[in-house]
Amino acid sequence: MSRTSRLAPKFDAFKQLDENNRRLVDYSPQDRPWDKHRAQADAVEEIFAAGPGLHHQRWAERLHECSAVLGFAWEGDPETGESRLRLRTAGFCRVRLCPVCQWRRSMKHKARLMERLPAIQSRYPKHRWLFLTLTVRNCPVERLRDEIKKLTQGFTNLRRYGRFPAVGWIRTIEVTRGKDGSAHPHLHVLLLVPPSYFRGNSYLKTSDWVRLWRKAMQLDYDPVVDVRTVKPNARRGRNALESAVAEIAKYSTKPSQLTEEDEWLKVYAEQVHRLRFVDSGGVLRGILADDYDDLIHVDEGDDGDGGGDEEPDLFFTWDRPSKHYVKDG
């Protein structure tokens, strides 16, 4: 029996949809985010298209074609027996500030971390996690590139200090837009520390982290530093760690902030072009990469190696006027 035949009841049910309801969200409500992020990509594209630089024009052209057509296959859920749509084909632009590509990469990073954490915790059962946020004062967006380079060098300096406690770390950069149009770059760091960190003189209070970060950055003021223990307990431990992982894996800049002011976006895009926003080291080296290589297999259930390689059953094309993905044919 063919796979389409096995799913005939589900498939036939959707044939009863009104001709005006041929949107992806009608077939698969859980895929609603596609509409949201593709609409945000349209807004970013329009700003780049009006930009003066050659980079802006090329980015606009790539954004225009990004995820224009999505191919889905029906896949059965082994637990519930129900079928759902899973993405099988799509073309992505891989522009750093594309909301669609950022969203897919964020999902990919979270899934990868959640998949690998059990093995790490099994290898280091008594180690604990810290979530560290390191900041500096806002800077003009025109100076953002230099400030990010200083941040990454500052973190390298911090890791070289004898009191740096982590045996492994994952570091990401986030940039938020200030109300005055400035840029606020900062680091989010997930640290794996040994149990000895919480005993005696090994423990670092927030004031200690502030002092070390100020020294590492060679600042003439006390920067804002936030450090939190990801507390493990039977009821909430995994949720707390998931929250930390989600923070590490999230967008480098929220799409809503990208389109607040056209000129800010154009300058920001040039400033962060080809910069590395993700890094890891110690026993966690290589666990994440600043890459966009596979943006199709991004869920925790995807193996990323071609698993679930069925030919697509349904294709949906982005309809710009309605801001929805609409079924072909």
DSSP 310: P
User: Of 62, 98, 44, which is closest to residue 261 (Cα–Cα)?
Assistant: 44
Please tell me the predicted confidence (pLDDT) of residue 309: 58
Please tell me the predicted confidence (pLDDT) of residue 37: 97
Q: What is the mean pLDDT of residues 133-143?
A: 98
Q: What is the pTM of this model?
A: 0.86
Neighbour tally for 125: CB within 10 Å: 8
Sign of the alpha-carbon torsion through 278, 282, 286, 288: negative
Tokens representing 80 are 């519930």
Sign of the alpha-carbon torsion through 104, 106, 107, 112: positive
Q: What residues are paired with 72 via a beta bridge? A: 87, 314
Residues 6+ apart with CB under 8 A from 156: none
Please tell me the predicted confidence (pLDDT) of residue 95: 94
DSSP 221: S
**Cα 327 from chain centre:** 28
Please tell me the predicted confidence (pLDDT) of residue 242: 85
pLDDT band, residue 107 (cuts 50/70/90): very high
pLDDT more than 90, % of the chain: 67
Q: Are 169 and 280 in contact (CB under 8 A)?
A: yes
Tell me which of 279 and 311 has the higher pLDDT: 279
Looking up tokens 């003439």 gives 220
Lowest mean pLDDT, pick from 24-38, 74-88, 166-180: 74-88
Instruction: Output the CA torsion 179→182→187→188 (10° steps).
Output: 20
Write the pLDDT tens digit of every residue in 213-256: 999 999 999 999 999 999 765 454 457 888 888 889 888 899 99
Rg (CA), the chain: 22
pLDDT band, residue 19 (cuts 50/70/90): low
Q: How many Å apart are CA 120 and CA 139, to the nearest integer?
A: 37
Q: What mean pLDDT value characterizes the chain?
A: 87
Asked whether the predicted pLDDT for residue 307 surpasses 80, the reply is no
pLDDT band, residue 8 (cuts 50/70/90): very low
User: Of 227, 219, 251, which is closest to residue 133 (Cα–Cα)?
Assistant: 227
Please tell me the predicted confidence (pLDDT) of residue 155: 98
Q: Are 129 and 121 in contact (CB under 8 A)?
A: no
Looking up tokens 């045996």 gives 167
Write the pLDDT tens digit of every residue in 76-87: 776 777 788 999
Residues 6+ apart with CB under 8 A from 260: 177
Tokens representing 273 are 């072009």
CA atoms within 13 A on the CB side of 81: 1
Please tell me the predicted confidence (pLDDT) of residue 308: 52
pLDDT band, residue 291 (cuts 50/70/90): low
Asked whether the predicted pLDDT for residue 44 surpasses 90, the reply is yes
Asked whether the predicted pLDDT for residue 276 surpasses 80, the reply is yes
